[in-house]
Structure 1
Amino acid sequence: MLKLDEVTKEFRIGAFGGRSVAAVRNVSFEVVPGEVVSLIGESGSGKSTIGRMILGLNPVTSGTITFDGRPVRGGKQYYRHIQGIFQDPFSSFNPVFKADRVFDLIKESYYPSVPAAEWAGRVAASLRDVRLNPDQVLGKYPHQLSGGQLQRLLIARALLLDIKLLVADEITSMLDASTRIDVLNLLAELKTRGLGVLYITHDLSLGNYLAERTVVLRRGSVVEMGLTDKVFGDPLHPYTRELLSAVPRLNRAWDDATPVETCLYHERGGTGALLEAEPGHLVACARLPAC
């Protein structure tokens, strides 16, 4: 369905744009229908840049992104099948309009000929699919709803389209723990219907909870990738092991975490090819298994 092949993104910097910096370097992975892929890395690793390129919001410098075999170009028909939801749900709503205006915009753009009564029924069904009561959210302004309700409104909006892929960029980071689990369970339920999800996060525990496959990103490059149970159960790259060692545990104090050893490849930021350490598990390390 979605395929990234050697994708690189460079931004021009400096007073006159005389220099460039690579935010993403030679990234390749796929998302298939009915699958959740976690894209994991620290802040500044290039995760959101990849999401924006998939959504057609940023152009690709080199490499290709294809959806159902066709190059990603954005546009109305593309967004019928691919939608994005971002970290701050409040930024997706105009505060002077009621929150359900997002459904009116979908109707105006994609379903102008659908009768009002039929559209109201579709909206109500979509809201119930994301476990919202239409009577409690429709007609409300954004500030009258919680962050979790707004995120689920955005998911309901996406479901009104013929959506095949959802790019979820840090969609739970502003939510409390109980609401966060509700949203994650909703995504897990939607994938059973065939929806592909790219779940962008810096939270390893949430990625482990939700995804079949995991892609670990460091300084814009993929350093480890594969089935989630293999990446988390037997991390091979020093950066992945370092990330896992930093996950807080109830029975361990923060200062108990120990530094993880590095290898030459790790020190240089990961510039070589991924190696297949085992079926379904790729790692960017030049000296396996020595490091």
Structure 2
Amino acid sequence: MPLELRDTEVTFGGGLFGRSHTAALAGVSLALATDRAETLAIVGESGSGKTTLTRLLLGLLRPTAGRVLWQGQDVHSLRGAAFAAYRRAVQAVFQDPFGAYNPVYRVDRMLLLPARRFGLTSSDDEARALAARALEAVGLRPAETLGRYPHQLSGGQRQRLMVARAMMLKPRVIVADEPVSMVDASLRGTILGALHRLRQEGGVSLVYVTHDLTTAWQLADRVMVMRGGRVVEEGDVEHVIGSPRHPYTRALLDAVPPSMPDPGWLEREDAA
């Protein structure tokens, strides 16, 4: 498996002398397909453990128990070139486009620095050309984006910039934690369409973390439903959302507006 969690648990201590413990995840396992790119949606309400799970996948958090594996190796045992390869192969798109940038630097830096560090280009001109292509792929105009500071861009522009950065590194997996929850409805299709094209054209698997069953149904191949740090239901998207077995999944579906969006919206975004 390229990226895998095996029986992972995460427990946080607190209270006087650390005597109180909270289980953020309990016995969670997942594995992405090895023979194809796929989109796995992680669905649940706030506090269900979704963000803790994404931090495990990105190597930002060490599990209390269990293992995080990349191509069969424990992520926390990787060193040197092997760790750098994992960092490039598994990219993140975070929920908050406002807190993801250093306000001191122009946005060019977050595109050009990774291109140089990972050896994607041999010159600054090539790096700029690569960055420009990535920006255009997410609907941004390089001339209106490069050279600016983060505060000079809108929230939607900053979120699309995060997607562009992930795209230009040619990853194998993108972990997207609520990537459209803080942007206008008019931009959601653009961002999700760009991620969908990465899977269709670039063979990139996507872990799509969301509380929105509507977009999960449109975008995902498989769904994992989480509650209280546990997986309560998982499987093919048509079965989980079309014929849910767990009461919690049914409750989430009951909260969705009665009409699902037109299934063709992703194709229209691809053609735009």
TM-score clears 0.5: yes
Residue 31 of structure 1 contacts residue 197 of structure 1 at CA under 8 Å; is this kept in 2?
Answer: no
Aligned to 1:136: 144
Equivalenced residues, count: 250
In the alignment, the residues of structure 2 paired with residue 159 and residue 181 of structure 1 have an alpha-carbon distance, to the nearest angstrom, of: 17
- Quote the residue 1:154 is aligned against: 162
1:35 maps to which of 35, 38, 46: 38
Structure 1 SS opposite 2:163: helix
| Pair 1:25–1:81, CA change in 2 (3 A) | same
Distance of 1:76 and 1:63 partners within structure 2: 23
Deviates more, 1:103-112 or 1:84-93: 103-112
Task: Give, in whole Å, the separation in 1 of the partners of 2:45 and 2:120.
Answer: 42
Other-structure match for 2:232:
223
Runs of 4+ in structure 1 deviating by more than 4 angstroms, as ranges, are none
List aligned pairs for 1:115-134, cutoff 5 A: 115-134=123-142
Paired-residue identity, %: 43
Q: In the alignment, which residue of structure 1 is the partner of 2:12?
A: 11
Equivalent residue number for residue 282 of structure 1: none
- Find the aligned partners of 1:4 and 1:59 in 2 and give their Cα distance: 11
Per the alignment, residue 276 of structure 1 pairs with none
1:61 corresponds to which residue? 64
Q: Which consecutive unaligned segments of at least 5 residues does structure 1 have? A: 251-291
Match for residue 268 of structure 2? none
Residues in 1 aligned to 2:154 and 2:44: alpha-carbon distance in whole angstroms: 27
* Partner in structure 2 of residue 106 of structure 1: 114
In structure 2, what residue type is equivalent to 1:102?
Answer: M
Q: 1:113 to 1:183 in 2, by over 3 A?
A: closer
Pairing 1:86–2:94 present: yes
> In structure 2, what is the equivalent of residue 275 of structure 1?
none
User: Which residue matches 1:24?
Assistant: 25
Name the residue aligned to 2:263: none
Cα contact 1:4–1:65 (8 A) shared by 2? yes
Query: What's the counterpart of residue 182 of structure 2?
Result: 174
Q: Which amino acid aligns with 1:219?
A: G
**C-alpha deviation, 1:18, in angstroms:** 2.0
- With over 3 angstroms needed to count, the CA separation of the structure-2 counterparts of 1:28 and 1:112, relative to structure 1, is closer
2:44 and 2:211 map into 1 onto residues whose CA distance is 5
Q: In the alignment, is the contact (CA less than 8 A) between 2:139 and 2:190 conserved in 1?
A: no
* SS of equivalent to 1:34: coil
Match of 2:242 among 230, 233, 238: 233
For residue 55 of structure 1, report the CA deviation from its aligned partner.
0.8
Give CA deviations for 1:176-219 in whole Å, capped at 9, x if unaligned: 11101111111111111210110001111111111010000010
* Superposition RMSD in Å: 1.7
Using the alignment, how far apart are the partners of 1:152 and 1:191 within structure 2?
A: 16
TM-score (norm 2): 0.87
Which letter maps to 2:39?
V
* The 10-residue stretch of structure 1 (44-53 or 175-184) with the greater mean CA deviation from structure 2: 175-184
Corresponding residue for 1:277? none
> Structure 1 residues 148 and 113, CA, compared in 2 at 3 Å: closer, same or farther?
closer
What's the offset of the Cα at 1:137? 0.8
Deviation at 1:76, TM superposition (A): 3.0
Read off the aligned partner of 2:104 and give its amino acid letter.
V
- By how many angstroms is 1:108 displaced? 4.4
Deviation for aligned residue 1:112: 8.8
Find out whether 1:95 has 2:88 as its counterpart: no
Residue 198 of structure 1: aligned partner: 207
